[in-house]
Structures are given as C-alpha cells and as structure tokens.
C-alpha cells in the first residue's frame, strides 16, 4: 500500500519501513511473537547477542530456544496466550 504524500514527522510515523529500519539498528535484541508465540521478527542485535540468525528463529516458538529467567536462573515467564484471546497474558513469578 503506497504511503500518501506527507511531510516530515507525519510521513515517518506512517511508514512501517521506518520502524523496521530503526529496530534493525538498535543495540538491544528485539523480537516479536504472534499469538501462538511464534517469532515473526528478529533483529540483528538479537542475532549478535544470542548467536542465532533470524533465519533460524523465524517461525519457531520463543520458548523452544529462549529461556526467560531472573538473575538467579529461575524461570520467570510461566504463561502465555489464552486460547482464542486477542491479548497476550504473561504470568511472572
């Protein structure tokens, strides 16, 4: 879908490519999951920090690879999406 002609900040905020470009160049690892917790976005820093390339991660469930733990190594994410829910629900210990 073409972006309508806009100037300055209006054009940037309407352009999804702008956000992808920004996320691809931040130093923090960023990934997005769908309602099934399958990874659909994995930035370059996530690759650098984990050693997993985006090609290896896309389509996989995040819990297959990533363990979200606290400073002591205790698992902190216990739950995810309720069946049929449109909202993510996370339970933390």
Look up the CATH number of the domain holding residue 33.
3.30.450
Which helix H or strand E contains 89, and what residues bound it?
Answer: strand 88-92
Is residue 76 a part of any domain in this protein?
A: yes
| Host domain of residue 33 | 8-92
| Local confidence band at 9 (pLDDT 50, 70, 90 cut-offs) | low
CA 89 to chain centroid = 15
Q: Check whether 91 has a pLDDT greater than 80.
A: no
* Number of structural domains in the chain: 1
Does some domain include residue 48?
Answer: yes
Is the predicted pLDDT of residue 77 greater than 70, yes or no? no
Residue 56 belongs to some domain of the structure: yes
Assigned domain for 2 exists:
no
Whether the pLDDT of residue 20 is over 50: the answer is yes
Q: Could you give the 3-state DSSP secondary structure of residue 4? A: coil
DSSP 29-73: --EEE-TT-BEEEE-HHHHHHHS--HHHHTTSBHHHH---B-TTS
Residue 59 in any domain: the answer is: yes
Domain assignment present for residue 57? The answer is: yes
Q: How much of the chain, in percent, has pLDDT values that exceed 90?
A: 25
Q: How many Cα neighbours within 13 Å face the side chain of 31?
A: 27
Q: Is residue 1 part of a domain?
A: no
């Amino acid at each position: 879908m073409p972006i309508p002609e806009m100037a300055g900040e209006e054009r940037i905020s309407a352009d999804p490519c702008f956000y992808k470009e920004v996320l691809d160049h931040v130093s923090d690892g960023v990934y997005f999951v769908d309602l099934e917790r399958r990874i659909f976005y994995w930035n370059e820093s996530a690759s650098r920090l984990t050693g997993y390339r985006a090609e290896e991660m896309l389509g996989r469930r995040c819990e297959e690879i990533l363990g979200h733990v606290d400073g002591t190594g205790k698992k902190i994410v216990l739950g995810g999406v309720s069946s049929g829910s449109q909202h993510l629900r996370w339970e933390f210990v």
